[in-house]
Amino acid sequence: MKNLFWSLVGLLFLSASTLNAQIFADVETSLGSFSIELDYVNTPMTVANFIRLAEGSAAWLDMDTGVLRRDPFYDGIIFHRVISGFMSQTGSPNGMGTDGPGYTFPDEVEFCLPHDQAYRVSMANSGPNSNGSQIFITAAATAWLDGLHTVFGTVVSGTAICDAINAVAVDGSSRPLVPVSIVSVSIRRVGAAAEAFNEHEQGVPALFVPDVTITHDGTSATLLFDQGEETKAQVYVSEDLESWSGQSRYSGPGDGLLTSFPLVAETTGMDLAFFAVSLVDYSDFICLPSRLANYTLTFRNVYSSSTDEELGDITYVFDDTGGGTYTSQFDSGSIVSYNYSSDGIGGVLLVYHLTFPPFRYRLGADDFVPPLFSGRAAATAYLTTTSLSLTMDGFSLQPTLVP
C-alpha cells in the first residue's frame, strides 16, 4: 500500500502535462490579499494537508491544551519569520516557529515544482519528512532548497502584497516589529478535476481520540487505552484546565499493542487532574523503530559545505546500554551518550562522541526492504563557538549482526 501510493503519485505527474483545472487558496492578510494556485497534481498530500488545515475539515492538535480542534487553522496566525529578499514564513500557532498541527507527513520533493522564482509556496521543515503546517513564500529563486522542501503552490495574484510582507521591518531574529497576520484562507476550485480532488483521500495522517479509562492508586494516575504499532500518543495533563503539560510516546514496528500510559511524576500529589489524549496513525507509511538499541546506522558521504570537507561515511553501532561505537574515515571511538526520538516517518538523533563534537541528525524514512531501513538525512555539528550544517547521500539502518 505504501509503495503503491507513491507509484500513483508518479503516474499522476507523468500523465498531467498541464493543469486544466485549478485549486486556489485566497489568503487575506493584515496587509492585503493574495492568491495561491495549489499544485494538487504533483503534490497531492501536501495540498490536501493545506486545504484540511485552512478549512478546518480535519482534526488538528492544539499544542497548548492537547485538545483536537476542527476550526480553520491559519486564521489569526502571524508571519513569524521574514528575511528580505529570501522568504516570508508563517503557519506556527505560537508564533515562534516551534509548533504545528500535532503530526508530521512525508516530503513530496520528487515531482514538485522547483524553487526557481519568487512567489513559490513551499513547506518549511526541520529536515526530511518533518512537514506540518509551516509554509514560506519565496522572494527570489532559491535553488538550493530543491529536494529539501516541497513546493506545493505559486502565488498568481497579489504578488505586491507578498513583496510588502517581505519588506517589513524585523528584529534581530527576523521577526516583524509590527505583526503581519493571516485573517482568513478560502479555498476556491475551478473545473471538474479540481472539484473532484478529495483532500481526505490523499494519505494525510489522521488524528483521533481513543477510548480512555483512568485508574488511580491513591497516589498517581494511569491512563488505559489501546495504542497500536506505528502510532504516536499525545497526552496532556492539567490541574485547572488552564495550564497544560504534554508528552508523547511513539510505538514503532514490532513494539506490539501498548495499553497503559503511567503518569506517576505528572499526577503525584494532585487533588484534581484533567487529561487530553490523542493518537496519530502513521501505519500507512514507512515507520522507523522506536529505539536504536542493537541497530547499526550508517550515514553515506557526509559533507560540510561550510568547510568544503568530505567526512565520508559515518557508522554507529548502538548497544543496549545507551552507548555504542562510531567509525569514520577520521576517527573511531565510543559513543558517550545519545538521545533518539521517532515520530514515525522520521526521527531525531543527537550523538555525543568521545572526540567528535556532538552531531544532531534528522532522519526521514523513505524505504524498507527487511531488515534494512533507508532514507534521507540532514545533520548539524555543534562546535565550541558555532555550528555546521552537514549534507549526505542518505542513511541505512538495520539490526546489528551478532557473530
**Domains of the chain with bracketed CATH:** 2-201 (2.40.100.10), 209-281 (2.60.40), 295-399 (2.40.160)
Catalytic member of 24, 31, 80, 89: 89
Cβ atoms 39, 151 nearer than 8 A: yes
136 catalytically annotated: yes
The pLDDT, as a whole number, for residue 335 is 95
CA distance 395 to 293: 17
Question: Distance between CA atoms of 160 and 158, rounded to whole angstroms?
Answer: 5
Check 52, 115, 149, 353 and give the catalytic one.
Answer: 149
- Please list, in sequence order, all residues whose beta carbon lies within 8 angstroms of the beta carbon of residue 10, skipping any fewer than 6 positions away: 110, 111
Of the residues 24, 105, 136, 368, which is catalytic? 136
Residue 48's SS3 state is helix
Catalytic residue, candidates 145, 263, 390, 397: 145
- Select from 345, 391, 348 the least CA-distant residue to 368: 345
* 70 catalytic residue (yes or no): no
The single residue of 69, 86, 258, 360 carrying the catalytic annotation is 86
List strands edge to edge, sheet with 244-251. 206-208, 274-281, 231-238, 244-251
Paired with 215 in beta bridges are 222
188 catalytically annotated: no
Catalytic residue status for 80: no
Strand partners, 231: 251, 281
- 189 has catalytic annotation: no
200 given a catalytic annotation: no
In sequence order, what are the beta bridge partners of 376? 364
- Quick one: which H or E segment has residue 199? none
Please pick, among 52, 115, 120, 125, the residue that the annotation labels catalytic.
Answer: 125
Is 197 a catalytic site residue? no
Residue 73 has what pLDDT?
A: 98
**Catalytic residue of the set 52, 80, 81, 353:** 81
Q: How many CB atoms lie within 10 A of CB 27?
A: 24
Q: How many CB atoms lie within 10 A of CB 317?
A: 18
User: Looking at the DSSP assignment, which residues form a beta bridge with residue 234?
Assistant: 248, 278
Cβ burial of 350 (10 Å; 0-12, 13-18, 19+) is middle
Query: pLDDT per position in the chain (403 positions), as tens?
Result: 444 434 444 444 433 333 468 999 999 999 999 999 999 999 999 999 999 999 999 999 999 999 999 999 999 999 999 999 999 999 999 999 999 999 999 999 999 999 999 999 999 999 999 999 999 999 999 999 999 999 999 999 999 999 999 999 999 999 999 999 999 999 999 999 999 999 999 999 999 999 999 998 888 899 999 999 999 999 999 999 999 999 999 999 999 999 999 998 888 888 889 999 999 999 999 999 999 999 999 999 999 888 888 989 999 999 999 999 999 988 899 999 999 999 999 999 999 998 889 999 999 999 999 999 999 999 999 988 889 999 999 999 999 976 5
